[in-house]
């Protein structure tokens, strides 16, 4: 018998089988939009949404995201990609086309704080976060009951200074086994090695519990309290080798005052963290983000 989740996925994929998203970045120059539109027209495609942005009208970089649909698109993916290569070469484009019915496969990493994990699982369960979540990985056991209650495999992989390399090798093995293309660090309190990050470039989304670039690293709420801040926030970003300095996807803040101790800052901050991370993950899943250097263009 088909489960509610399986029915959600089936209906979504059926509704999206003729839809795709085209992401483009290239040197800004005349004729880009016309060339893309003409190509899509010749493919029998109908443009559903189109967004453009240029960093500078003179010698800048042009960014474009197009949502379109075309009859039987799911049957002519290779032909579409081959055809667009000629347009891309003409303008020196970096580009990607993503077929909407192909759900991304996301692995969630978590430690002891479960509020971000719970938010993601709720959004996923309700059908508002369209992805497959084949597994959750944790260096603690705290999340097991929550995860397994939804029939999602849970893997406990302890991490110590001495076992970090072996732990990451096991994590990477699981990511390959489950064909994972997106990793979400939902308050996973471990620093990933450069070797791990290099294999997942712009595919690891983290939530940091401060409004970056303030209070990078550990104990940001304690440091915020000591500094007497009047605003606290959270930042979701792609992970790079530089701690908490990767391209920022989304941020938010909330006002606090002198009456709020560290415990209250953490309570207020947890609400910000889970909503910021959920938005960032959704935008990634919907292919709304183009990374440009250490910044992001979010359409």
Tell which phi-psi region holds residue 31, choosing left (phi > 0), alpha (psi between -120 and 50) or beta.
Answer: left
Active site residue 244: yes
Q: Active site residue: 244, 252, 260, 287, which one? A: 244
- What is d(CA 266, CA 243) in angstroms, rounded to the nearest whole number? 21
> Distance between CA atoms of 27 and 273, rounded to whole angstroms?
36
Of 89, 92, 99, which is closest to residue 62 (Cα–Cα)? 92
Catalytic positions, please? 244
């Amino acid at each position: 018998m088909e489960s509610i989740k399986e029915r959600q996925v089936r209906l979504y994929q059926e509704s999206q089988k003729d839809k795709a998203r085209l992401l483009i970045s290239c040197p800004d120059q005349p004729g880009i939009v016309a060339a893309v539109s003409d190509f899509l027209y010749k493919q029998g495609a109908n443009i559903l949404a189109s967004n453009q942005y240029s960093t500078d009208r003179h010698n800048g970089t042009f960014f474009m995201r197009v949502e379109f649909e075309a009859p039987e698109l799911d049957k002519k993916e290779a032909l579409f990609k081959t055809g667009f290569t000629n347009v891309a070469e003409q303008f020196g484009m970096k580009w990607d086309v993503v077929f909407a019915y192909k759900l991304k496969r996301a692995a969630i990493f978590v430690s002891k704080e479960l509020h971000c994990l719970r938010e993601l699982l709720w959004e996923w369960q309700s059908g508002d976060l369209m992805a497959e979540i084949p597994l959750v990985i944790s260096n603690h056991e705290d999340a097991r009951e929550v995860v397994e209650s939804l029939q999602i495999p849970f893997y406990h992989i302890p991490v110590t200074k001495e076992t970090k390399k072996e732990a990451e090798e096991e994590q990477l093995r699981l990511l390959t086994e489950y064909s994972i293309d997106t990793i979400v660090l939902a308050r996973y309190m471990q620093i990933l090695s450069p070797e791990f990050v290099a294999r997942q470039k712009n595919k690891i989304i983290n939530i940091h519990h401060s409004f970056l670039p303030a209070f990078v690293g550990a104990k940001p709420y304690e440091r915020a309290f000591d500094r007497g801040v009047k605003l606290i926030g959270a930042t979701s970003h792609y992970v790079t080798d530089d701690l908490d300095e990767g391209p920022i996807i989304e941020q938010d803040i909330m006002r606090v005052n002198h009456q709020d101790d560290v415990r209250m800052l953490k309570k207020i901050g947890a609400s910000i963290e889970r909503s910021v991370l959920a938005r960032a993950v959704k935008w990634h899943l919907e292919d709304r983000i183009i990374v440009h250097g250490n910044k992001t263009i979010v359409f």
